[in-house]
Structure 1
Amino acid sequence: MKTIKGFIGKSQFDEDIEAKFRASACGPVTAFVILRHLSEAEPHLSINKLYRSLGGTKIGLSKYRMIRNLRKLLGAGWNIESCGIEDVLLEIDEGRPVAAKFDKWFTFHWLGKFTFDYHWVPIVGYEKHGNDLILLIHDNGGRNRTSQLRKVSYEQNKKILSFVKMKKTAAF
């Protein structure tokens, strides 16, 4: 199993997140914990500020907004882009977590059986298990529950998964 060392998850229901944002804060929380892991210069970005800056809504955060608004917020010293599963594995191998979006609603797979219907999570590891790839994710917690590491099947979820990689490219 390949796992990123030292990654710390966070619950989207923590007290420091505005109550009105908590139910749909998985995208900003995912961005926050990944940026916190990648750069000690970024923790000044609160989840509440990220929620507003990224364009979070009560129904969530689109991948397009996540990418476009992180690029605006972080500037030229960062590379923020969509990627495929091969890039996800390379990023994990390099010690960089990747944002994953489960979305059965806007991918029109309403009747499928997936780990999440609509949810952003950080991927922090993987293992190959027979013909499947098992992704190690932080689930961003729940009401009165911290974020937990979970194993999810890529094969079971690949129809509704998309990914965003983040990499600091210059020191400022």
Structure 2
Amino acid sequence: MIEERSEYRLEVEPYTQWEPGVASPGSACGPATMAALIEYWHTRRGCGRIPGSGHFDSKAEHINYIYSHHGGTPLGMSARSFAKGLQAYIGAALPRVERRHRPVSVSVFNDMGRYRAEIDAGRPVAVKFDKWFSLRWRGRYAYDYHWVLGIGYDLTDTGAGPALIVQDNGIRHKNGGFTPGRERHIPYLPNQPILTMVALNIE
């Protein structure tokens, strides 16, 4: 019998949508999340053919490329655009022959058990918070509208239920400065009504 983990996280390189050089930082959380997810598969999962941040002059350029070519808009990135953009980015990088041997799958869901299974399998999960288009305008959530990268979970009993461990893509300050992307623990159940999760698997 496999012992269940109470807390687990993956080592993921953080990205920051507010760092200098990001062309549209206010709406770049989706592209920043996608860039971090792609970088993980490039460096940690042995998918060297998929262009990571080393193929660009900076992380900002990587984010800008995704924003311009794979679904970024001034209003943000929908879950459908994120999934399609991710498939297009990887599809352009992997030759058709290689895709036959290493199938690429992108799935969309909202389920803590599935999320944990992805993390346990070594696969980060993109997580979108969206109270506007889910018509949950009056709720109090960790974010109103934001993409983050799920890198782990915490099942420690704190009275709030299971928590997502995420990289938050940074915070902008009123003085023009910013805090780089950092780890946050976010309760799943209070935020569940507005969440969408996007998982990537390259077999």
**When the two structures are superposed, what TM-score results if normalisation uses the length of structure 1?**
0.90
1:133 is matched with which residue: 146, 162, 165?
A: 162
Q: Distance in 2 between matches of 1:63 and 1:157?
A: 16
Structure 1: unaligned runs, 5 residues or longer? none
In the TM superposition, what is the alpha-carbon distance from 1:69 to its structure 2 partner? 2.2
2:70 is matched with which residue: 30, 54, 70?
A: 54
Structure 2: unaligned runs, 5 residues or longer? 1-6, 57-61, 92-98, 173-177
Percent identical among aligned pairs is: 31
**Residue of structure 2 in register with 1:153 after alignment:** 187
Q: Secondary structure at the match of 1:158?
A: helix
Q: Which has the higher helix share?
A: 2
The amino acid of 1:61's aligned partner reads M
The amino acid of 2:114's aligned partner reads D
Q: Distance in 2 between matches of 1:53 and 1:165?
A: 20
Q: Secondary structure at the match of 1:52?
A: helix
Q: Computing the radius of gyration over CA atoms, which structure comes out larger, 1 or 2?
A: 2
User: Per-residue CA shift, 1:52-83, capped at 9, x if unaligned?
Assistant: 12221111000011111221221145222213
The range that moved more, 63-72 or 157-166, is 63-72
1:32 is matched with which residue: 16, 24, 35?
A: 35
1:122 is matched with which residue: 149, 154, 174?
A: 149
In the TM superposition, what is the alpha-carbon distance from 1:148 to its structure 2 partner? 1.2
Count of aligned residue pairs for this structure pair: 166
**Residue of structure 2 in register with 1:83 after alignment:** 109
**Residue of structure 2 in register with 1:71 after alignment:** 87
Higher relative contact order (CA 8 A, sep 6+): 1
Q: Distance in 2 between matches of 1:72 and 1:22?
A: 22
The amino acid of 1:161's aligned partner reads L
CA contact (8 A) 2:110 2:192 kept: no
User: Per-residue CA shift, 1:127-157, capped at 9, x if unaligned?
Assistant: 1133611111111002221011111000110
**When the two structures are superposed, what TM-score results if normalisation uses the length of structure 2?**
0.77
**Residue of structure 1 in register with 2:9 after alignment:** 3
**Residue of structure 1 in register with 2:200 after alignment:** 166
Q: Secondary structure at the match of 2:162?
A: strand
In the TM superposition, what is the alpha-carbon distance from 1:121 to its structure 2 partner? 0.2
1:95 is matched with which residue: 92, 106, 122?
A: 122
